[in-house]
Amino acid sequence: MTTAEEETFYVLDGRTVRQADEDAHTAFWSREDPGRVGLDFAGEVEISTVFLPRPAVETLLGRPLLFETSLFGPTGFIGVVGRYATWSEASAGHRRIDEELRGGKAH
């Protein structure tokens, strides 16, 4: 049996999150790189921020966190370092983490 949350699908309409039915969700995710917000490197560390097909977690306000920044190193996954509800928040979070890893130096 599935829960209501498991049946909720999301897609990006430009940079805006929209709920979608399963067919629209499947079509969105069949596109090449549909949800990349940012990809940068700080030395050997890859900083990747992406749109998620389902919420990772919910905030206290009930907003689904559909964007996630993760770090990857030479040996693979390091960890999740940020989760966000909107493209704008995700983009700002990605830039902040990139700058922190570069010692406060923007590239």
pLDDT digits (tens, 9 = 90+) for 96-106: 999 999 886 65
C-alpha distances in angstroms, 75 versus 9, 12, 43, 78, 97?
32, 31, 14, 8, 20
Mean pLDDT of 14-29: 81
pTM of the model as a whole: 0.81
pLDDT at 28 over 80: no
Torsion of CA 94, 100, 101, 107, to 10 degrees: 70
Distance CA 51, CA 15 (A): 10
> Phi/psi at 63 (nearest 5 deg)?
-80, 130
The reported pLDDT for the residue numbered 71 is 97
